[in-house]
Amino acid sequence: MDEVLRKRVNVLGLAIDPIEFTEAVDKIIFFAKSRPTQFVCVNSAQDVVIAQHDSRFRKIVNQANLATADGWPVVWNIRSQGLQLSDRVTGPDLMLAVCDKGRSHELKHFLYGGVEEVPSLLTGKLKQSFPDINICGAYSPPFRKLTAAEDQAEIDLINQSEADVLWIGISTPKQHFWVEDHLDKLNVGVVITVGAAFDFHSGRVKRAPKWMRENGLEWFHRAVKEPKRLGMRYLKYLPQFFIMSILQRCGLRQFSIKGCKTD
């Protein structure tokens, strides 16, 4: 994670790229054909708050090659700083767009994450949508700490697939820690952490209608659909994000992105 694309925006201590969706897709396609491995992550209000309590997570995001604004609160924060950003750049949307456009570049994709049946379901759904897509591997890791031998076997499986794009669909911040621990062992073009995209596109979880996604209500849809897992999470993280935003706007608290590598 030695380079980033541009001067980043300080969103409450996370360095976010104010990049539009189509440009982000093009950058990822470029990364996919490059070496060494590049890292892309998408960032919601939850990620911003987690970063305030976990310095390791904050450093990983701030050293990524591309960090996009996944949540509307993040977009609104960027706009409040006088920058134009028309829309979110979300994991689920990036996955479909890169899979689609990547066909003309003959990209090979590896799917890593989800519960046991998800990689197979996701592979089938993507092939239905993009019949000529090249999915060269799919794997659901165990929900436990791996032995050194198991961990190496996973890395070998990914590298032997000769994937250009490695999609990671694990929970946050676990997926970021996985990337940090394995990035220098991977021989892929780009690693992208997309979390819930695996559940959405496999059909395991229904995504919010488009009108809700466009009006900042996707979090509400998800909380209603999965109250036990997500309801308390949103009640915990969203208020903290807006409180920190108010404190920053009033000059009562400052958030640093010291250590973020920018060009």
Q: pLDDT tens for residues 187-198? A: 999 999 998 899
Nearest by Cα to 193 from 205, 208, 214, 178: 178
Question: Which amino acid, one-letter code, is at 200?
Answer: F
Give domain status of residue 155, yes or no. yes
Round to whole Å and give the CA distance between 246 and 145: 39
| SS3 state of residue 111 | strand
Tell me which residue range forms the domain holding 89: 9-202
**Cα→Cα distances 204→77, 118, 210, 230, Å:** 32, 7, 18, 16
Give domain status of residue 233, yes or no. no
pTM of the model: 0.90
CB 32 within 8 A of CB 107: yes
Residue 1: pLDDT band (50, 70, 90) is: very low
Give domain status of residue 260, yes or no. no
Give domain status of residue 248, yes or no. no
Give domain status of residue 95, yes or no. yes
* CA quadruple 101, 105, 111, 117: dihedral sign: positive
* pLDDT, tens only, 39-93: 999 999 999 999 999 999 999 999 999 999 999 999 999 999 889 899 999 999 9
Share of the chain above pLDDT 70, in %: 95
Give domain status of residue 230, yes or no. no
Give domain status of residue 164, yes or no. yes
Give domain status of residue 166, yes or no. yes
**How many domains does one find in the chain?**
1
CB 215 within 8 A of CB 73: no
Q: What pLDDT is recorded for position 190?
A: 98
